[in-house]
């Protein structure tokens, strides 16, 4: 078993980062995730949003690793469950692979919280537990997978920034459109008054 962990600080408030995380896929930084299906979504009595999604991804596993574990395709399915708690300002996301579970299990947990010293920033804590089962060189393969997770985590953070820029652009475009649509009736009303 191999454990991997990482922390990152986003220079954006928790609400912004949470919205971006919910809309992270698809994105050009992580083309390996090519399918996202919402299985269930609902709000509990405490006001927390629970979501379950099915992700389809290409792990991009090296061909040598694939041949060592006896698989011919590297696309996989993962189940993701998340809880957004707007009162506590926490967003916790857990995912686990549901493909190749007899050979490999990867359990990942991401937690987004406001930075304790600066509410305009968000802390991301990311953990993964990798377990390659009943295969020689399993420790080596767990290390290869951990390196892949680390590289994908960096791409994921870049993707979050890309989504945040896209969301901000959409908000600005909507505001601009709204300002323009309000000016025309106001100009017409002003000319009617003359």
Tell me the pLDDT tens digit for each residue of 52-67.
Answer: 999 998 866 667 666 7
What percentage of the chain carries pLDDT values higher than 90?
56
For a pLDDT cut of 70, what percent of the chain falls above it? Answer: 86
SS3 category, 116: coil
Query: Helix, strand, coil proportions of the chain in percent (round to 5)?
Result: 35, 35, 25
> Residue 182 pLDDT more than 90?
no
Banded model confidence at residue 184, pLDDT cuts 50, 70, 90: low
Q: What is the dihedral of CA 99, 54, 125, 130, to 10 degrees?
A: 0
Do 132 and 142 form a contact (C-beta atoms < 8 A)? yes
Q: Which of 171, 159, 172 is nearest to 22 (CA)?
A: 159
Q: List, as one string, the DSSP characters of 16-62.
A: HHHHHHHT--S-TT-TTEEEEEEEEEEE-TTS-EEEEEEEEEE----
> What tens digit of pLDDT does each residue of 122-179 get?
999 999 999 988 777 788 888 888 888 888 899 999 999 999 999 989 888 888 888 7
Q: How far, in Å, CA of 121 to CA of 119, rounded? A: 5
**Which 3 state secondary structure label does DSSP give 142?**
helix
Cut 0.75: pTM above it: yes
CA 152 to CA 132: how far, in whole Å?
19
């Amino acid at each position: 078993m191999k454990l991997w962990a990482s922390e990152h600080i986003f220079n954006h408030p928790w609400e912004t980062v949470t919205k971006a995380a919910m809309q992270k896929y698809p994105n050009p930084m992580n083309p390996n995730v090519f399918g996202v299906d919402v299985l269930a979504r609902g709000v509990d009595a405490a006001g927390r949003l629970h979501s379950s999604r099915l992700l389809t991804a290409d792990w991009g596993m090296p061909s040598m690793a694939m041949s060592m574990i006896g698989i011919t395709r590297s696309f996989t399915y993962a189940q993701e469950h998340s809880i957004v708690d707007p009162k506590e300002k926490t967003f916790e996301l857990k995912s686990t692979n549901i493909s190749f579970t007899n050979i490999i299990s990867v359990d990942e947990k991401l937690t987004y919280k406001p930075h304790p010293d600066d509410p305009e920033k968000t802390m991301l804590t990311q953990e993964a537990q990798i377990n390659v089962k009943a295969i020689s060189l399993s420790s080596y393969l767990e290390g290869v997978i951990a390196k892949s997770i680390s590289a994908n985590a960096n791409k994921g953070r870049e993707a979050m920034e890309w989504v945040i820029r896209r969301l901000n652009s959409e908000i600005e475009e909507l505001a601009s459109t709204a300002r323009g649509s309000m000016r025309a009736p106001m100009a017409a009303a002003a000319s009617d008054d003359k």
